[in-house]
């Protein structure tokens, strides 16, 4: 079975692999998400405890992702009948409704294209892989977790906020950045620009390390800007 696994073609900063797949909300294609961010994530199997905790976490954060123009799309190598039964079970046992679609990837076509099948883990089950695809259909981030450790949905959300903010403000984000914290100003590309950096009005430690603020005040809980806050660039 291992010999039949195709080499994944998903690569960062390149168009995400196209798909046309059956889901719990009917057939879905990558093109259906054009103009929106997409969080595509795989799980090993329905009716398993770790996966259940992950789906509950995604479901509880569904509206926060939606507020960022972002759709959620799950996937496993199970039938859509299994997906539906599991969704109903989660609602019955945990009181949480799964409102996003789940791909039934029985032929493993999507899983193979995105590298969700890792032979060292399993030949027939997807690992915990998460892919962030931008509104142009470009794959912007990939995060993998092992079978026995659930992923952090809060971290995926934080990463999405960081990437969107970096795109909007032509900056980079430091370790564990959340809204309200300083961002990294791009490093000067010439000796002349490096010499001028100290006089540009930013918070400069050295010519290669400069930060600035984007928000008027500190961020609220969970890394989200409080209602009514606005971004600003300080120069």
Structure tokens at 189: 């590309």
CB 21 within 8 A of CB 110: yes
CB 184 within 8 A of CB 176: no
Q: Which of 27, 51, 171, 222 is catalytic?
A: 51
Distance (Å, rounded) from C-alpha 115 to C-alpha 94? 31
148 CB neighbour count, 10 Å cutoff: 9
Active site annotation includes 51 = yes
Distance (Å, rounded) from C-alpha 5 to C-alpha 105? 14
**Sheet of 183-184, strands arranged across:** 183-184, 209-212, 203-206
Catalytic residue numbers? 51
């Amino acid at each position: 079975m291992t010999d039949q696994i195709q080499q994944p073609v998903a690569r960062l900063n390149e168009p995400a692999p196209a798909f046309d797949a059956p889901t719990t909300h009917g057939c879905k294609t990558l093109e259906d998400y054009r103009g929106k961010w997409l969080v595509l994530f795989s799980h090993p199997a329905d009716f398993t405890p770790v996966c259940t905790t992950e789906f509950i976490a995604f479901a509880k954060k569904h509206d926060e992702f939606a507020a960022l123009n972002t759709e959620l799309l799950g996937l496993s190598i199970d039938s859509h009948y299994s997906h539906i039964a599991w969704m109903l079970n989660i609602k019955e046992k945990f009181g949480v409704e799964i409102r996003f679609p789940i791909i039934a990837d029985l032929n493993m076509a999507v899983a193979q294209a995105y590298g969700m099948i890792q032979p060292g883990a399993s030949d027939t089950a997807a690992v915990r892989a998460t892919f962030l695809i931008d509104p142009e259909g470009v794959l912007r981030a990939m995060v993998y977790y092992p079978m026995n450790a659930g992923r952090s949905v809060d971290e995926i959300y934080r990463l999405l906020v960081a990437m969107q903010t970096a795109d909007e403000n032509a900056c980079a984000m430091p370790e564990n950045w959340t809204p309200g914290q300083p961002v990294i100003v791009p490093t000067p590309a010439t000796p002349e620009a490096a010499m001028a950096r100290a006089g540009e009005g930013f918070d400069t430690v050295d010519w290669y390390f400069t930060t600035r603020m984007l928000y008027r005040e500190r961020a609220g809980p969970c890394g989200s800007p409080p209602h009514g806050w606005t971004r600003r660039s300080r120069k």
